[in-house]
Structure formats: structure tokens, C-alpha cells
């Protein structure tokens, strides 16, 4: 299992944890291009940077480019990387 570690704001963390949000978005920039395109199988999301921040691990089904869902993004007009999420595993 190869895990991508990402930090989220509480709003997005809670929506993914509840199953309401099934994708996560990242800007198309060299930083994310280099970081995202490795053979990840899962994503570990953390809510904040503290040592005791809540977290969970979820299946990563794939990474694509596209327009984000306006309900799940701060900006719905740009093309972004879309991380398709599966089942929570831990």
C-alpha cells in the first residue's frame, strides 16, 4: 500500500469522511504534478497540522484532470487534478 498524505480544511475533511464528497482537487501546478503522479493506492487525509489531528485513510481510484464539482471546490471554473476516492479503510 503506497499512501499519499494530504491535509484538508475541516469542511472538506468532514464531507469526505461522511461519504458526501467523493473527489478531492488540487491545482495543476508543477508541485502537484510531481507529487501526485506516483503509484499511490491510498490517501491519508489529516484535518490540520497538529500532532493529534484527526485522520483517516481512503482508497485512491485514480487521478484525472477536469472541472471540479462546484459544491466541492472553492473555484469551479478552472481545470484541476481530480483525485477519485473509494472506500475508507482506516
- The structural domains of the chain, with segments of one domain joined by +, span 3-88
How far is the C-alpha of 59 from the C-alpha of 63, rounded, in Å? 12
Mean pLDDT of 34-40: 96
**All 3 cell numbers of residue 58?**
481512503
Q: Mean pLDDT across the stretch 19-26?
A: 96
Sign of CA dihedral 49, 54, 59, 64: negative
pLDDT given at position 77 = 66
User: How high is the pLDDT of residue 41?
Assistant: 98
Task: Tell me the average pLDDT across 84-89.
Answer: 97
Q: Pull the grid cell for residue 47.
A: 484535518
CA trace torsion 50, 54, 60, 63 (10° rounding)? -50
Question: What pLDDT does 76 receive?
Answer: 60
Q: Which CATH architecture does the domain made up of 3-88 adopt?
A: Roll (2.30)
pLDDT in tens, 40-85: 999 999 999 999 999 999 999 999 999 998 888 876 668 999 999 9
Q: Could you tell me if 26 and 8 are in contact, meaning their C-beta atoms sit under 8 angstroms apart?
A: no
Amino acid at each position: 500500500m503506497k499512501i499519499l498524505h494530504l491535509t484538508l480544511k475541516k469542511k472538506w475533511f468532514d464531507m469526505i469522511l461522511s461519504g458526501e464528497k467523493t473527489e478531492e482537487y488540487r491545482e495543476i501546478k508543477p508541485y502537484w504534478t510531481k507529487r501526485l503522479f506516483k503509484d499511490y493506492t491510498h490517501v491519508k487525509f489529516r484535518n490540520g497540522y497538529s500532532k493529534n489531528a484527526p485522520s483517516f485513510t481512503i482508497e485512491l481510484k485514480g487521478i484525472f484532470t477536469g472541472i471540479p464539482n462546484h459544491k466541492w471546490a472553492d473555484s469551479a471554473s478552472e481545470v484541476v487534478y481530480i483525485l477519485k476516492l473509494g472506500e475508507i479503510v482506516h
